Amino acid sequence: MERILYFFLLFLFVNLHDIISLGDIMGIFSKLKKMFGGAEEEKEEKVVEEIDDETLEDSEVEDDEEEITEEDDLDEEVEPLTEEKKEKVKIYDKGLSKSRGGFVSKLQDLTRRYSKINEDYFDELEEILIMADVGVNTVMELIEKLKKRVNDDKITDPEELKEVLVDEMFIIYVNDEILTNKINYNDKDISVILFVGVNGVGKTTTIAKIASKLKKENKKVMLVAGDTFRAGAVEQLREWSERVGTSFYGGGEKDDPSSVLYDGIVKAKEEDCDVVLVDTAGRLQNKVNLMHELEKMNNVISKLVDGGCCETLLVIDATTGQNGISQAKAFKEITNITGIVLTKMDGTAKGGIVLAIKSEVGIPVKYIGLGEKEEDLVSFDIENYIYGLFKDMI
Ligand SMILES: Nc1nc2c(ncn2[C@@H]2O[C@H](COP(=O)(O)OP(=O)(O)O)[C@@H](O)[C@H]2O)c(=O)[nH]1
Ligand SMILES: [Mg+2]
């Protein structure tokens, strides 16, 4: 049953049909390693050479030699990564280095310190996962599953449990749902995307980065300054629009955001824009006001745009951990959030927040910020994420 589930999940979410067709049972992580390892070709070649030498020298490890030959065959089956995909692997790699140095190295250390799996080992594992922002409920679920695997498969060595742990994390994220990282664009009318989130999480810079990406796709973009509350917010967005080279609409400070949005969409339609990106003020301190403000903005969009607002993206700062999760829960109560942008992942050593978002908030992460530069904001991809985190561990 477990095996069928694995293959089903892989079939749906991992593009590894070639390997699956070979029918061998490998962990999910091993498959990711096969797929993404190509992005670090030079390093990989060296390792293969070393292994080959050892195998030739030592006749006792004939079985291993056979395995390696098999894996080499597998390598041939894996489609080489495109330059774009290789670039993405590198961005995740770089952006997750702090988490590898923190969260993941603690896991490695745990494995080294215990020669046998026991209650103490699980207690420590639990603590490491909780400290890594994985979220208490998710950690409990994960530990239960691992204990069951240890029992069922008679695993005693922590070394053996490493890959199971990573696989189970992947399964928790993927679960039985189809989580899409795709942005919904409006195919009938102009696409209006609202960005919400508390101050300082990275809304304005995220808008600028996405605007720049859209421009490269030859889309005509308008930025609308709906954060009329905070002094300087309108000016900041105007500067970004000039830097990126997009249209801009902003009213005066303290103007009603909905009326600014109304005029902005009218102007965007006159200019024949494809996408309108709307900055908003994230005053979560006053939930009722914020709820009414967002409701009004949504009504304006519905009035002017066939199909209404196509995305409401909540921006969360990964370095705020559990606080970010609380923000997501609060925003979810006051408006219909369709996706999450998780910024500043490069600034945290914890790395587990993605799993907490999945299990405690249940909204797909659509973009992840892995640095301050435009190219560091990438569409979220659980395979790249899991590989980037655990590539040195397994
Ligand atoms: N290191 C890092 N910094 C980021 C990222 N995203 C945003 N920032 C920084 O976060 C700060 C606040 O961003 P801003 O867009 O003004 O936040 P806002 O108040 O939500 O609009 C800026 O200095 C950004 O450069 C990221 O992914 N990584
Ligand atoms: Mg801002």
The mean pLDDT value of the chain amounts to 86
- Which residue matches tokens 């609202």? 194
143 vs 123: CA distance, rounded Å: 9
Is the C-alpha dihedral spanning 341, 346, 348, 351 positive or negative?
Answer: positive
- Ligand 1 atom nearest the C-alpha of 370 is 27
Q: For residues 140 and 360, is the Cβ–Cβ distance under 8 A?
A: no
Distance in Å, CA 50 to ligand 1 centroid: 43
199 Cβ inside 6 Å of ligand 1: yes
Query: What is the per-residue pLDDT for 372?
Result: 95
312 Cβ inside 6 Å of ligand 1: no
Q: For residues 22 and 34, is the Cβ–Cβ distance under 8 A?
A: no
Ligand nearest to the CA of 199: 1
- What is the pLDDT averaged over residues 104-123? 96
**Is 306's pLDDT higher than 80?**
yes
Instruction: Give the confidence band of 134 by pLDDT, cuts at 50, 70, 90.
Output: very high
**Is 141's pLDDT higher than 60?**
yes
Q: Which of 92, 97, 199, 205 to mutate to test the pocket of ligand 1 (most atoms within 8 A of CB)?
A: 205
Query: What is the per-residue pLDDT for 64?
Result: 43
State the DSSP code for 313: E
Query: What pTM, to 2 d.p., does this model score?
Result: 0.85
Strand boundaries in 337-385, DSSP class E:
339-343, 365-369, 377-379
For 152, residues 6+ apart whose C-beta sits below 8 A from its C-beta are: none
Distance in Å, CA 233 to ligand 2 centroid: 6
Q: How does pLDDT run across 181-220, given as a tens digit for each residue? A: 899 999 999 999 999 999 999 999 999 999 999 999 999 9
Q: For residues 390 and 383, is the Cβ–Cβ distance under 8 A?
A: no
Q: For residues 204 and 222, is the Cβ–Cβ distance under 8 A?
A: no
CA distances from 338 to 179, 299, 304, 311, 356 (A): 11, 17, 20, 6, 17
Helix segments in the chain, DSSP class H: 2-13, 17-21, 28-36, 41-57, 62-77, 83-95, 97-99, 105-113, 119-131, 136-152, 158-174, 203-216, 233-244, 257-270, 287-304, 322-334, 353-356, 382-390
